[in-house]
Structure 1
Amino acid sequence: LGPAYIKFGQVLSTRPDVVGDELAVQLRVLQDKLPPFPLAQARATVARELEVDVDTVFSDFSEAVAAASIAQVHRARLRDSGREVAVKVLRPGIEKAFRRDVDAFYFAARMIELIAPSARRLRPMEVITHFEGVVLGELDLRMETASSAEFASNTAEDPGFQVPQAEWFLSSRRVMTLGWAEGIPANDIVAIEAAGHDRAALGERVLRLFLQHALRDGFFHADMHHGNLKIAENGDIIALDFGIMGRLDEYTRRAYAEILFGISKPATSRRTAMSMNSPAPCARWASRSSAWTRPASRWAAC
């Protein structure tokens, strides 16, 4: 399978409500357990992109510990400080491979619209355009580095939540370096329970944190599924993979807050109804710097 097909499978792996529990479990292997490309290629990419000698900068540089459709991650140790880091490296030739797959998607979408006019209401061409914009943003790791740094700054004082520190001088378009995050993958239920963590409390905290980031900061993790979360030994939730982030303007945040407040407080149902009848708010979902609704322009206009 090409990278775009794999990426689509990753999305479906987080939607057991759509594909069923059994298929969703089978598709989870696409999240981070794909065959990696050779270590020598990864080291060559790091050396070329960062213009450094890998052995001079890193005292250790492991084989890939996780590999997905677009990139793979290596565990490494900085020679000067001894700090452990995660080095994310794009797959060689990923841009051309993705373009080839997306062109096939566009062809299929056009055929669907021609052969099955009733399917036009699903807007298959717009779906592919949106998908293309999201993934294209993930092909420039500088955008993800910037997103991780902004997200870390916003959430630095949030108890029970961690964002790995970005290493700006060891990041580029095809390489991103963050602090290493040790923890249990959020989809490893057996290990989480064995460690004594309360799954219900963790789930509630994830929801509260998501709403807090969206409504307080207007900048939130828009891909916070179990594959992008770890549970630290002390119970902290660790966020990973900042390729798809969302932004909400102030008006939208207020409108959503009123709706949520109205749902929790029946006496305010009239206020909720009024806010729902207000002019449509502007929600900007960004894959790094690409707009959710208008991927060709950098940000969607409100």
Structure 2
Amino acid sequence: MKKLTLALALVSATSVIGAEIENPIVKKLYEKGIITKEEALKLDKKEEKKFVKHANVIKKDSPEFLLGKETHPNMKIRAFDNPDMYVKLGIRLQSTFENYKVDYNDPTKDDINLWDAYLRRMRFEVGVGFSKHVSFTMDIRNDKANYQDKGEQNFNVGDAYLKIKKPFGTSLVNFKFYRGKIDVSRTETVKSAWVVHYDRPHVADEAAQFVSHNRRATNAQIYGNWKKKIHYQFAIGDGIYSGKFHDAVGNDLQDASGKIIEQDYMYIYISNSWMGGNKKN
């Protein structure tokens, strides 16, 4: 029994001697002789656990994006002195390799089949929490890079909104400001990763442009829900963009209906939905 105890003591002493102190402050305390190495290692491990608690992966099975599932910003870093303050970071990439047919209306041209590889989604996403109720979300995107003959294209701001969630302690009243998405229809609001075909119908995309440019022109919103069954949204903000006045085929509507002389580019939008019956009004 004494031999076994001695062996364990030797192993423990060897592990302490060979171990490295990572935290620079703890290491300095040890070097100055203020604490022993064993105490330094214990303190170092404690500080490491505290850091992991403040900088962690939100969803452990995040590699599921390899299976084609959409993910969200997944690295979360909390402030040491305020657990309600945080920064969330994420990168979203989605590539596709597809075949499509070009059907010419001109009978003198033969229809052709083409192959195309492009990045359907390429985004850097950031979320910042300021307090229990206030946060900011933003992303920089270059969607459909190398799509057909469009080349590399350019990065631009996608979502960029300040959210005030449950300021009165109820889900009935929430606020969004700046570039929050407008709930113009179920087809346009549901994430593309959740629909049967990830490219939305062109007619729905073009119709949405007559409410709000890219569904997120500068706006202010009040929205909420009752027990996640009845939802509403009231928004006021910048509206349409004349460069998007075309139909799903690409015909310019100004050519068809004449030049638009006067247009109010502000709008007020109200929507509601009854989720219990899976219906949208």
Please tell me the TM-score bracket, short chain as reference: under 0.3
TM-score by length of 2: 0.26
Higher strand proportion (structure 1 or 2): 2
Larger Cα Rg: Structure 1 or Structure 2?
Answer: 2
TM-score by length of 1: 0.25
